[in-house]
Amino acid sequence: MNTFLPLAAICVFFLPLQAQEEPEILPTLASAKISAYLERPVAKGSQRDTQNIPATITVETIEPEAKTLELDGKPCTCDLLYITTTIHIDGLPVTFSRKWYQSSDKRKLTVNTPENTSYACRLTPDQLQTMADGISDMDPRDVDEILDNIEPADTPAPEPDIAASLRKEYANKHPEARALPRDGDIRLLEIIRPGYDITLILQDEKAVAMYTPKAGETVELLQNDRYMELIPLPQENHFIIIDHPDGHISRLLLYKIGGLWNHAPNAPACIFQTPGEYDVQWNLMNWDWKAGTMTVRRTENLPGIGGKDTMDFTIPIR
């Protein structure tokens, strides 16, 4: 069963963390999610029945003999591995990137291992929690134990960029819509619908999102000092703005036009938005009107740990 995470729950999670003064280590959202998962009762026959959790590890890069560590009072030359680990909780992926050190004289992977090679493995709860926390580097002996038991993983199908495909679908139906290339991507600048237009304009060196009904006055929806993206949706009374107020921040806002008791019939209202957090990016991954949900992805950069956390959340849209 998918986990629904309303905006309020996301905000409540972070408020206590922001109130702390200079904490030594803040738990990441991935480590908190995994802690809650590991604290659940273990059901017989479940994937945790053996206390080993199936996972996929993906090798991003390998730096040979990058560091010397002391093990049992003796120096140990180690390779540095950048590894992304993914497990699924309630049907949705939790992914985190971390540094591992592998004993060079017991090397299981080589510098010739192609980047982004994936392997299947099983992790003990302690291994999984330590990797997710990212508080300290894993002991190379733990890394050796994990790598001794990896198997080639089925090559996953390329993950579709749902938002980009929606933009393309819209552009095919509305070739008059304007688009701006930016950093190799397309930032849609206008949505043209039978009853209204949504337009992004530059005004006084600010990016401004404007709503113009066919009958009525233009309304400003949002502005920032950088740029925004528009994502048209199959339901023509819904659209999404990705707000980029800073290079380290993006937040997702879902708008609905009409149908809300406290808004004018043709007025847009923001019915869901993600928090604006430093070093956190939000994106749309899937839109499923039949199920009444959308899937949004939260990616957090972790400069102190040298990695990132990625989590998907299923959000009700009606």
Three state DSSP letters for the chain: CCCECCHHHHHHHHHHHHHCCCCCCCCCHHHHHHHHHHCCCCCCCCCCCCCCEEEEEEEEEEEEEEEEEEECCEEEEEEEEEEEEEEEECCEEEEEEEEEEEEHHHCCCCCCCCCCEEEEEEECHHHHHHHHHCCCCCCHHHHHHHHCCCEECCCCCCCCCHHHHHHHHHHHHCCCCCEEEECCEEEECEEECCCEEEEEEEECCEEEEEEEECCCCCEEEEEECCEEEEEECCCCCEEEEEEEEECCEEEEEEEEECCCCCCCCCCEEEEEECCCCCCEEEEEEEEECCCCEEEEEEEEEECCCCEEEEEEEEEECC
For residue 65, what pLDDT is reported?
A: 94
User: Which pLDDT tens digit goes with each residue over 58-82?
Assistant: 999 999 999 999 998 999 999 999 9
| pLDDT, tens only, 238-257 | 999 999 998 899 999 999 98
Residue 44: what pLDDT?
72
pLDDT in the model for residue 88: 92
pTM of the model as a whole: 0.81
Q: Which residues of the chain have pLDDT under 70?
A: 1-27, 45-51, 135-137, 180-186, 259-265
